[in-house]
Amino acid sequence: MLRKLFKFHGGVKPATHKDAATASPIVTPPLPARLKVPLHQSIGGTPRPLVKAGDKVLKGQRIGGADGNVSSAVHAPTSGTVLAVEPVVTAHASGLSTLSVIIEPDGEERWIERQPIDLRATPADEIRDYLRDQGVVGLGGAVFPSHLKLKASREKPTRTLVINGAECEPFITCDDMLMRERAAGIVSGIRVMRQILGAEEVIVGIEDNKPAAVDAMTLAVQTAGLDQVSVVAIPTRYPAGGAKQLIRVLTGIEVPHGARSTDYGVQCFNVGTAYAIHEALELDQPLISRIVTVAGNVGQPRNYEVLFGTPMNELVALAGELPGTDAYIMGGPMMGFRMPAFDVPVVKATNCVLVSSPSLFPPPPPEMNCIRCGECAKACPADLQPFELYWFSRAKNFGKAQEYHLFDCIECGCCSYVCPSHIRLVDYYRFAKSEIWARERDKDAADAARERFDFRNLRQEREKQEKAARLAAKAAETRAKLAGESGDDDKTTSSAKPSQAEEAKKALIAAALEKARQQKERAPVPPRNTDNLSADKQAEIDAIEARRAAARQEAE
Amino acid sequence: MLSALLVMTGIALVLGAALGFAAIHFKVEGDPLVEKIDSILPQTQCGQCGFPGCRPYADAIAQGEADINQCPPGGDEGVRKLADLLGREYKPLNEEHGVEKPKSVAFIDEQTCIGCTLCIQACPVDAIVGAAKQMHTIVASECTGCELCLAPCPVDCISMEPIAETVENWKWRYPVIEIKRAA
Amino acid sequence: MNTSPYLRKTTAVNSVMLRVLIALLPAICAYAWQFGAAILVQLAISTATALFAEAAMLAARGKPARLYLTDLSAVVTAWLIALSFSPITPWWLMVTATLVAIVIAKHLYGGLGQNPFNPAMVAFCTMIVAFPALMSQWPGAGQLDFHTQLELILGGARQLDAITAATPLDALRTGLREGGADVTVPGLMAGPAFGALGGAGWEWIALGYLIGGLFLLQQRIITWHMPAAFLLALAATALLMWGMRPDRFGSPIFHLASGGTMLAAFFIVTDPVSGATTPKGKLIFAAAIGALTYVIRSFGAYPDGIAFAVLLLNICVPLIDMQTQPPVFGHKRD
Ligand code: SF4
Ligand code: SF4
Ligand code: SF4
pLDDT tens profile B57-72: 998 988 888 888 889 9
A174 touches A293 (CB < 8 A):
yes
Q: Is the pLDDT assigned to residue B133 strictly greater than 80?
A: no
| Domain match, B127 and B77 both | no
Bigger pLDDT: C242 vs C99: C99
Assess if residue B2 is contained within a domain. no
pLDDT score for A522: 53
pTM: 0.81
| Domain match, B107 and B93 both | no
The Cα diameter of chain A in Å comes to 111
Q: In this structure, which residue's CA is closest to atom 7 in ligand 3?
A: B44
How many Å lie between the alpha carbon of C260 and the closest alpha carbon of chain A? 23
Measured from the Cβ of residue A399, the count of other Cβ atoms closer than 10 Å reads 8
Give which of A175, A181, A169 is closest to A204, Cα–Cα.
Answer: A175
Coil, strand or helix at A304: strand
**CA A117 – CA A73 distance, rounded (Å):** 18
Exposure b/e, A324-339, CB count within 10 A at least 16 = b: ebebbbbbbbbbbbbb
Q: Is the pLDDT assigned to residue C108 strictly greater than 70?
A: yes
Assess if residue B3 is contained within a domain. no
Of the residues B97, B122, B143, the one at which a domain ends:
B97
Q: Is the pLDDT assigned to residue A195 strictly greater than 80?
A: yes
Q: Is the pLDDT assigned to residue C281 strictly greater than 90?
A: yes
| Domain match, B81 and B106 both | no
A370 touches A423 (CB < 8 A):
yes
If pLDDT is split at 50, 70 and 90, which confidence band does A356 have? very high
Assess if residue B77 is contained within a domain. yes
Give which of C305, C190, C196, C287 is closest to C237, Cα–Cα.
Answer: C287
| CATH number for B84 | 1.10.15.40
Q: Report how far apart, in Å, the C-alpha atoms of C242 and of each of A331, C40, C192, C236, C260 are.
A: 63, 36, 22, 10, 20
C6 touches chain A (CB under 8 A): yes
Output the average pLDDT for chain A: 86
C contact test, residue of A261, A373, A407 with most C CBs within 10 A:
A373
Q: In this structure, which residue's CA is closest to atom 6 in ligand 1?
A: A376
Coil, strand or helix at A536: helix
Coil, strand or helix at A111: strand
Full DSSP string of A453-487: HHHHHHHHHHHHHHHHHHHHHHHHHHHHHHHHHS-
If pLDDT is split at 50, 70 and 90, which confidence band does B161 have? confident
Q: Which of A93, A366, A457 sits opposite B180 (nearest CB)?
A: A366
**CA C294 – CA C204 distance, rounded (Å):** 21
C5 touches chain B (CB under 8 A): no
C201 touches C34 (CB < 8 A):
yes
Assess if residue B4 is contained within a domain. no
Ligand 1 centroid from CA C113, angstroms: 10
pLDDT tens profile C236-248: 999 998 888 877 7
Please give the number of the atom of ligand 2 that sits closest to the Cα of A408: 7
| Domain match, B88 and B56 both | yes
Q: Is the pLDDT assigned to residue B76 strictly greater than 90?
A: no
Q: How far is CA A147 from the centre of its chain?
A: 15
Choose the most confident range, by mean pLDDT, from A129-133, B17-21, B152-156: A129-133
If pLDDT is split at 50, 70 and 90, which confidence band does A227 have? confident
If pLDDT is split at 50, 70 and 90, which confidence band does A492 have? very low
pLDDT score for A222: 92
Q: Is the pLDDT assigned to residue A187 strictly greater than 70?
A: yes
**CA A303 – CA A317 distance, rounded (Å):** 13
C239 touches chain B (CB under 8 A): no
B contact test, residue of A436, A544, A548 with most B CBs within 10 A:
A544
pLDDT score for A490: 47
Coil, strand or helix at B161: strand
pLDDT tens profile A137-173: 999 878 899 999 888 888 888 899 999 999 999 999 9
| Domain match, B61 and B106 both | no
| Domain match, B120 and B149 both | yes
**CA A356 – CA C84 distance, rounded (Å):** 50
pLDDT score for C87: 85
Bigger pLDDT: A116 vs A101: A101
Q: What angle do CA A140, A142, A144 make, to 5 degrees?
A: 105
Coil, strand or helix at C266: helix
Q: E-assigned strands of A223-288?
A: 229-234, 266-270
pLDDT score for C183: 60
DSSP H or E stretch at residue C275: none
**CA C303 – CA C122 distance, rounded (Å):** 16
DSSP conformational letter for A264 = G
How many Å lie between the alpha carbon of A542 and the closest alpha carbon of chain B? 9
| Domain match, B92 and B106 both | no
If pLDDT is split at 50, 70 and 90, which confidence band does C178 have? low
Quote the domain boundaries for residue B107: 102-164
A375 lines ligand 1 (CB under 6 A): yes
- Return the CATH architecture of domain A20-356: 3-Layer(aba) Sandwich (3.40)
Assess if residue B49 is contained within a domain. yes
Bigger pLDDT: A362 vs A551: A362
Ligand 3 centroid from CA A525, angstroms: 24
Give which of C301, C274, C235, C227 is closest to C106, Cα–Cα.
Answer: C274
Q: Which amino acid is at A151?
A: K
C273 touches A391 (CB < 8 A):
no
Bigger pLDDT: C25 vs B6: C25
Please give the number of the atom of ligand 1 that sits closest to the Cα of A415: 1
Q: Is the pLDDT assigned to residue C162 strictly greater than 60?
A: no
Nearest chain C Cα to A245, which residue?
C329
Q: Is the pLDDT assigned to residue A535 strictly greater than 90?
A: no
Assess if residue B26 is contained within a domain. no
Q: In this structure, which residue's CA is closest to atom 2 in ligand 1?
A: A419
| CATH number for B139 | 3.30.70.20
If pLDDT is split at 50, 70 and 90, which confidence band does A382 have? very high
pLDDT tens profile A297-341: 999 999 999 999 999 999 999 998 899 899 999 999 999 999 999
pLDDT score for C18: 92
The arithmetic mean of pLDDT across residues C115-141, rounded, is 85
| Domain match, B56 and B84 both | yes
B102 touches B162 (CB < 8 A):
yes
Q: Report how far apart, in Å, the C-alpha atoms of B141 and of each of A62, A122, A365, C14 are.
A: 28, 38, 44, 53
CB contact under 8 A, C64 and B173: no
C294 touches A348 (CB < 8 A):
no
A199 touches A190 (CB < 8 A):
no
A387 lines ligand 1 (CB under 6 A): yes
pLDDT tens profile C46-87: 999 999 999 999 888 888 888 788 888 999 999 999 998 888
pLDDT score for C188: 62
| CATH 3.40.50.11540 domain span(s) along chain A | 20-356
ipTM greater than 0.90: no
pLDDT score for C28: 93
**CA A125 – CA A142 distance, rounded (Å):** 23
Angle, helices C73-84 vs C91-99, to 10°: value is 140
Assess if residue B110 is contained within a domain. yes
CB contact under 8 A, C1 and A338: yes
pLDDT tens profile C200-237: 677 888 889 999 999 999 998 899 999 999 999 999 99
pLDDT tens profile A472-489: 888 888 878 777 665 444
Q: Which amino acid is at A65?
A: G
DSSP H or E stretch at residue A36: strand A35-38
pLDDT score for A288: 93
pLDDT score for B182: 36
Q: How many separate domains does chain B show?
A: 2
pLDDT score for B179: 45
Assess if residue B1 is contained within a domain. no
Backbone torsions φ then ψ of A311, nearest 5 degrees: -65, 135
Coil, strand or helix at A337: strand
**CA A341 – CA A96 distance, rounded (Å):** 11
Bigger pLDDT: B113 vs C48: C48
